[in-house]
Amino acid sequence: MRNFIEEQQLHSETLGFDLSKIEQGTDQWHRSKAGVVSASNAYILLMKGSVAPFPKDIEIISGDKRGVNSVSFEGEVFTGTKQACTDFVRNRLPIIPSATRQTYMSQLVASVATGLLPDEIKARPLQWGKDHEQEANDAYSAATFETIDSIAFIYQDKTMRAGCSPDGLISGEEKGLELKCPWSSAVWVDFAHNGYIKPEEIIQCQFSMMITDFKEWGFAKFDPRNVNCKKLHHVIIERDEKVIAEQREGLASFIKDMDIMLDNLGMSFGMQWNDN
């Protein structure tokens, strides 16, 4: 089992502070996440881009025989039906990354440039979750008889390119916790009765398991307003190796493209911590 405290202490020279001694939400916690791909945004890595538009200067030429057409693209000539010729070209067109992926990458690169994260949204739903965080933790421990250990941030490895901020690690087990206090009580009901979990929440837990090497992740939602039923509902999300493999591939591609952007701007990853 990995010793996350020791790993955090090893990063202290790079960060300029001991990550094992800070709490989530502090300025140093924000600094530790600057430029780092995080679990809460992991769903972006799996977003599929769109195929570039069909080139206007490419013409599919009809042949003498019905159903026999030809097209020339990038020095290759293909013969077949019109649809087959179209597919031949489209399969060779580049994939345009999603706008969300590009925006997130720009945000991370900006964090490398400044050493800062974008201003945290001070929205009421976010504050609601923070206000009831400890109550939710206590309710989870009481329901599961598990002890929750707090930890600020976990990097995947020494490269420090990706990480997660779990709501807790279960003491003595290879299990983490994602604990949410939804702003809408209807969201809690949908989860408690229908078992509905947003796709991005599942991806967040899977990414956290990739980061920690854990096999399972507790997922819970807590609503302190409930007076006629229980306030907490929780489930276990098992590690999905297929999703993990897709995440690893998406992360590698994202980092490669991010490094190109950094290089074009005369920067490199890690510079965000140089002034500590």
Q: What secondary structure, in 3-state letters, does the chain show?
A: CCCHHHHHHHCHHHHCCCHHHCCCCCHHHHHHHCCCEEHHHHHHHHCCCEECCCCCCCCCEECCCCCCEEEEECCEEEEECHHHHHHHHHCCCCEECCHHHHHHHHHHHHHHHHCCCCCCCCCHHHHHHHHCHHHHHHHHHHHHCCCEECCCCEECCCCCCEEECCCEEECCCCEEEEEECCCCHHHHHHHHHHCCCCHHHHHHHHHHHHHHCCCEEEEEEECCCCCCCCCEEEEEEECCHHHHHHHHHHHHHHHHHHHHHHHHCCCCCCHHHCCC
Q: What is the pLDDT of residues 7-44, one digit of tens each?
A: 999 998 899 999 999 999 888 999 999 999 999 999 99
User: Mean pLDDT score of the chain, rounded to an integer?
Assistant: 91
Q: What is the pLDDT of residues 237-267, one digit of tens each?
A: 999 999 999 999 999 999 999 999 999 999 9
pTM for the full predicted model: 0.84
* In the chain, % of residues over pLDDT 90: 70
Q: What is the mean pLDDT of residues 229-244?
A: 96
pLDDT over threshold 70, residue 276:
no
